[in-house]
């Protein structure tokens, strides 16, 4: 093919790197949404991993029928909170802004996840999981996606980053669980239960 007939190479100088199209507000929203999504997935996986040992400890039984039944109740209560948080905080986000609402919900589920470790029985554990669900529901699935959407100039890259960080949260939960199991077997946790330390 002669040089005259060869197609012109694309001019990349007109298309700067995606991150250059983000202003300070876009970066703020993207970072908050990304971290919110990461810790949302981390929290959910920690709950899945810790549910059985937590139920055994809080109910004082090793009967797997009872443990499974109450584990199901705890999950259902968490999901009710998740749905309520998505609705309630979604409305609040329209009024005060998604970034502010996301910060509030991250604070809620962070504190209540920590409080889950201090549970003395099933019902206070379930209450903390309900409150955690409020924050996770508002932040993770709805707030995270809309937060990434606020970084509109780089939307595909922002949403890709959010999705990638959800995997980081899941993997981190697994690593925490493995580490706690090893520390517990080695006797390094003392009188602490591994599931409490995870929360």
pLDDT (tens digit per residue) in 125-136? 999 999 999 988
Residue 87's pLDDT band (cuts 50, 70, 90): confident
CATH 1.20.1250.20 fits 28-180+192-198, yes or no: yes
Residue 88: φ, ψ to 5°: -65, -50
- Torsion angle of the four alpha carbons 150, 155, 137, 131, in this order, in degrees rounded to the nearest 10: -60
Q: What is the pLDDT of residues 148-199, one digit of tens each?
A: 455 556 667 777 777 888 899 999 999 999 999 899 989 998 888 999 999 9
Q: Which of 71-85, 107-121, 144-158 has the lowest mean pLDDT?
A: 144-158
pLDDT-derived band at 45, boundaries 50, 70, 90: very high
Is residue 79 packed enough to be buried (19+ CB in 10 Å), middle (13-18) or exposed (0-12)? middle
Token readout for 24 is 């300070």
On the CB side of 43, CA atoms within 13 Å amount to: 34
- The pTM for the full model equals 0.75
């Amino acid at each position: 093919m002669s040089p005259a007939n060869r197609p012109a190479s694309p001019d990349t100088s007109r298309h700067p790197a995606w991150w250059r199209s983000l202003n300070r507000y876009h970066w703020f929203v993207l970072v908050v949404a990304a971290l919110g999504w990461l810790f949302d997935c981390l929290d959910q996986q920690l709950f899945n991993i810790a549910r059985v040992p937590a139920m055994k400890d809080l109910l004082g039984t090793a009967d797997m029928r009872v443990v499974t039944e109450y584990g199901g109740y705890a999950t259902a209560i968490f999901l009710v909170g998740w749905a309520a948080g998505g609705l309630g905080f979604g409305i609040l986000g329209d009024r005060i802004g998604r970034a502010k609402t996301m910060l509030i919900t991250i604070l809620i589920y962070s504190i209540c996840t920590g409080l889950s470790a201090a549970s003395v029985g099933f019902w206070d554990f379930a209450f903390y999981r309900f409150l955690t669900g409020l924050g996770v529901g508002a932040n993770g699935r709805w707030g995270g996606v809309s937060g990434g959407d606020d970084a509109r100039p780089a939307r595909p890259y922002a949403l890709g980053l959010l999705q990638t960080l959800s995997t980081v949260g899941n993997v981190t939960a697994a690593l925490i669980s493995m580490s706690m199991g090893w520390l517990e077997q080695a006797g390094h946790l003392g009188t602490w239960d591994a599931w409490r330390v995870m929360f």
